[in-house]
Structure 1
């Protein structure tokens, strides 16, 4: 589209993620073009219409913006983003201005271009709640100003609409739905780490199998579907909280997939270090399955995958519950057999189930364990009162976090070390002997592993930013296998190597994980279609999420259970 601005003709076009068909209601005949190809066609068409300046209004990721700026001729400026990134000032790449001032209505940005498309001026206004502190950039740039939301004059028309929605929402969902003994973490940490909300949510999703009289083995939830970036509790949790976290009209479905497909899906969801904004992430929450994962540049893997605490059988089949959006957009899960269409939206279904629980106290349970470097198996020294596990210091470590070590078995049960010390080359980790023996003897073939943390040596990791950069991680993680028989005193003298542990196919990031060639991917190369930004619901959009919650809740309450359709009823092989 073109429009006149003074004596100039300005051309503007939009760009969205290539999976737009699954995000909203567009005609199915619309074609999906390559980002660069489609943008170049749009720029050329606008120039032919007489545009003096061409601007892209974007909803794709930051990394793609840099690719477009370098590859598309005649593109003067890119504004907006899918990634939720907030620039301190616009960036200029070649002849293109890139300006990203966040999402969630927390910031308002403006740029001024001349007739040649050159940046003349810019400004950014940060909209803050009264209790928020300004960002440091406010003091560094004259172009950045602050406005507090309580100083902004209210629009009476919009206020009336919001009040009406709020009253309806409060009437339907404002009462206490359940109580939590702990704070529930529904922040964007759900992209990066296992959270207690993620565990509560996915555990509850598995009960959907009762609708079709099947037992669901695994449940998963994409982190992008957990909204609000909020915490709730401890104490009374209203229904509005659940619907703010899960506002989308996504239905829970169950597919039958092989163990190999489960492993492939878990690995496909891992996001490696694409840029300093988000870092490596597992990007999902899970129930019924646990695994180790690593996400460094092109070295992405999962290992030690257990279902119900047992090693996954890649030839067996499992029932996996997920939302229909994620199943439909996964090349792996969409190949599974659909065995249950529950007819249940996630938000209302979880709300109903949590109301029945009355009180909850979810914890983190070692379901997803990050591994940045794996070192050789621990040697074991056992005396009457203590057991000492000795491991090498990882090549990529600058300093060992001596208070971070724990032993974990395949069921997720763990034991904290009583102490640790390092001489710079090795680490001695001590445990109470009786307690470690009890942990190792808890189940047959427990797959005993030692995990700890360390400050990474920035020079050893070939990234153009400091690591770790992901929310939820202050340090890198190390792993070593531990011989169960040595811990139990069943090995002969000198035979102290690990007799079990990581699968051979998952050790891609082992001892050389800290070498310089384990490089970080540059942001310019990030052309993934995944939900790599963290757009959520800011203070000015919360009512929109609440309204969605009211709609879904009302639809769920008025729905007929008969709408649930069981597609298949054969049990899984495992």
Structure 2
């Protein structure tokens, strides 16, 4: 093209439970708008409906091309597909100029009517739509290679497979054509059909080479065939129906020397309004009959000289359903009992591609729980692409049709035996790293749903291992969980679908020992699981935990009182935290949310309520995980909004010990609202000691601040007209209040960067203040980074006694606080020091 200017029966089926995107990826929300949020300006065009008739045999002619792709599950619904059919008929009649119609593959499968119709229902509807050509996609092989010749014979239009040929003859394999030429209004249009490796070997269980079929390079065969059509067949316009995905379609356009004018795309199911790459127009209309592509091409002397185009959303197009298409679908639905209620869901069931490819979904949990229960297996796994429809169901009644829409393949239940090590390999096989080609387009992916197993996945090329901290539930899916650490050498029964049991989706299971095989469809397995349940309310439980950064280990001792403050090495790429996402979690994903998160330079400090953490664990030593999200300076995330970190936390719970409640938890107490800022009282003050313990009601405040000490807080010592507080002067680094027995009643650490100006731009790291009630000593470890280019840094640790009955800082009472002790230190670049106060020796209140 020249440079232009833009204007429930069980059938014996062969299955392919695979995903929509190249390389087992699914379209992420950031790749473009979905069917429901596509920009109105792109759904409707300012162009008039009529594009004008033929001006003359020798002059320019307008050709209109209508395109669709990936009908799939819409073939079983009486809404979008019948509307698409009617829209095609309406757009044909709206133009006086020649019109051609074509599809880009994945039309006859998967859909919930497969058990009663296989390819027959969609083929009958497509015959009524009356396209000029369609392309063979990966899901055209779902019923087996032999069935291709059957549905192509039933079709009243040609199916094209230009680069998938008979290995012996080099000609098209049975039932397909290499190309199709259509002449309308004096314009000769040539159609070719192309697939790539990902849409054949990567997404079916058919061994094409063994079946005598060869896949040729689409970027070579496509341009060569297009050139032949123009040079030898007198074709004016070449349209490539490319079941490859948009990125590969761009590769095709760049490999072409100008013979291919239009590439209508399928397979990755993205919203891609018409636009040019290397002088070739590329377009794709999402999937499931949600959009019709319309291109108006000005053709003159065998060249496309101008064009305009759009995607028309079917359900907002203003046309109704085509009655003939609707009646075909309704007839098959009646035979399949798809409208019978199975159960009631109190929550939305998420069967969206984006969710199921990238993370745990509540619907994926429901499906795999059903598989594990039916097989009585330890673990269940299903591939993300085996869950279809890209929809959300409920809250409300869930029908058999809903289940078959989401599980439309003839996949059956298979149980295999795997060692723990083999199970980890199987889980790892679906991990897509951010740095990979697929990850750079769609983001980090885990591409599966699981039951009976929990693990962390690290989606980066340099991670080793990428699957870690794996636990298996020793109890059934409807029982209280009993999580046991995975044993690499032990054997586990793993329920899977027949597609991945045969090695589909790159699972390493083809040679696994099969413990049992059934002919029960996964849809039937789920229906049998749901029917006895009056309601279902599946949740996301933390079965697959994404981890971008490891922040190391921490430990804490719990007594049920005060606060637990954990300190970690902050990720080097951390620029900000998302505090509300920080939790401590058990292996079973019982969680406690952090009360405060602070990142200061290279240090990450996270505070929790001691009693809440104690509720997570049994008495004695337990292991918990810290999870939290943060903004990264390194990762350009695609699907996820934030990077995610993890740390391992060992906690010792002493709440059942005889000495519980003595307040000597050395980890307690750092982190909440500012002690001499604008903070209020902390409700935890009620957790104080027994009044019989002498001066236990005495409370202290410990401040860490840049610069010199303030002896009289709350007074205007510098005559500037304002009361003196470290926070008001921008000098406060951290503050803590504690009873004399060590019970921490409030704590605060300033957010990163708030005191930079008072530290001369130096990076200062420090631990939370540690108060030992037995000795009366208060300690602080502080250091200045070695690479800090700055003058000496002055810091003060000050201890004050709170007045009266105050157990937390009260701003109005600050003038009555008494400075008990302080130390002021000066550190140069690279210096470290432990600062100590002795509250029992007032001689300590001097400078170093």
How does the TM-score come out when normalised to structure 1? 0.71
Distance in 2 between residues matched to 1:346 and 1:410, nearest whole Å: 29
1:354 corresponds to? 530
Q: Tell me the SS of whatever aligns to 1:434.
A: helix
1:124 corresponds to? 310
Further displaced range: 67-76 or 233-242:
67-76
Distance in 2 between residues matched to 1:335 and 1:373, nearest whole Å: 35
Shift of 1:107: 1.9
Unaligned runs of 5+ in 2: 1-178, 474-482, 658-664, 668-848
Among 253, 258, 268, which residue is 1:69 paired with? 253
Q: Assess, with a 3 A threshold, how the Cα gap between structure 1 residues 443 and 256 changes in structure 2: closer, same or farther.
A: farther
| Bigger proportion of residues as helix | 1
2:212 corresponds to? 29
Among 369, 383, 394, which residue is 1:233 paired with? 394
Residues 250 and 345, structure 1, Cα contact 8 Å, conserved in 2: yes
Residues 572 and 602, structure 2, Cα contact 8 Å, conserved in 1: no
Distance in 2 between residues matched to 1:58 and 1:434, nearest whole Å: 60
Q: Assess, with a 3 A threshold, how the Cα gap between structure 1 residues 423 and 443 changes in structure 2: closer, same or farther.
A: same
2:494 corresponds to? 320
Distance in 2 between residues matched to 1:388 and 1:291, nearest whole Å: 26
Distance in 2 between residues matched to 1:324 and 1:482, nearest whole Å: 40
Residues 186 and 227, structure 1, Cα contact 8 Å, conserved in 2: yes
Shift of 1:377: 2.6
Shift of 1:197: 1.3
| 1:88-487 equivalences in 2 (<5 Å) | 88-92=273-277, 94-111=278-295, 112=297, 114=299, 120-129=306-315, 148-149=316-317, 151-168=318-335, 172-188=337-353, 189-209=355-375, 215-273=376-434, 274=438, 278-296=442-460, 301-308=466-473, 309-328=483-502, 329=504, 330-378=506-554, 380=556, 384-423=561-600, 425-441=602-618, 447-457=623-633, 460-461=634-635, 463=636, 467=637, 469-470=638-639, 473-484=640-651
Q: Tell me the SS of whatever aligns to 1:335.
A: coil
Distance in 2 between residues matched to 1:442 and 1:252, nearest whole Å: 42
Which structure carries more relative contact order (alpha carbon 8 Å, separation 6+)?
A: 1
1:523 corresponds to? none
Residues 227 and 259, structure 2, Cα contact 8 Å, conserved in 1: no
Q: Assess, with a 3 A threshold, how the Cα gap between structure 1 residues 53 and 236 changes in structure 2: closer, same or farther.
A: closer
Instruction: State the Cα deviation string for residues 315-344 of structure 1 (Å, max 9, x = none).
Output: 333221111122221350112112211110
Shift of 1:480: 1.6
Q: Tell me the SS of whatever aligns to 2:214.
A: coil
Q: Tell me the SS of whatever aligns to 1:224.
A: helix
Distance in 2 between residues matched to 1:165 and 1:476, nearest whole Å: 47
Q: Assess, with a 3 A threshold, how the Cα gap between structure 1 residues 182 and 153 changes in structure 2: closer, same or farther.
A: closer
Residues 2 and 46, structure 1, Cα contact 8 Å, conserved in 2: no
1:509 corresponds to? none
Distance in 1 between residues matched to 2:305 and 2:531, nearest whole Å: 55
Q: Assess, with a 3 A threshold, how the Cα gap between structure 1 residues 207 and 95 changes in structure 2: closer, same or farther.
A: same
How does the TM-score come out when normalised to structure 2? 0.49
Shift of 1:478: 1.2
Q: Assess, with a 3 A threshold, how the Cα gap between structure 1 residues 46 and 441 changes in structure 2: closer, same or farther.
A: farther
| 1:5-44 equivalences in 2 (<5 Å) | 5=183, 9-18=188-197, 20=200, 23=204, 28-39=211-222, 42-43=225-226
Instruction: State the Cα deviation string for residues 233-274 of structure 1 (Å, max 9, x = none).
Output: 334323222222212211111111222222122122122343
Distance in 1 between residues matched to 2:497 and 2:620, nearest whole Å: 33
Shift of 1:78: 1.9
**Larger of the two Rg values belongs to structure:** 2
Distance in 1 between residues matched to 2:523 and 2:587, nearest whole Å: 31
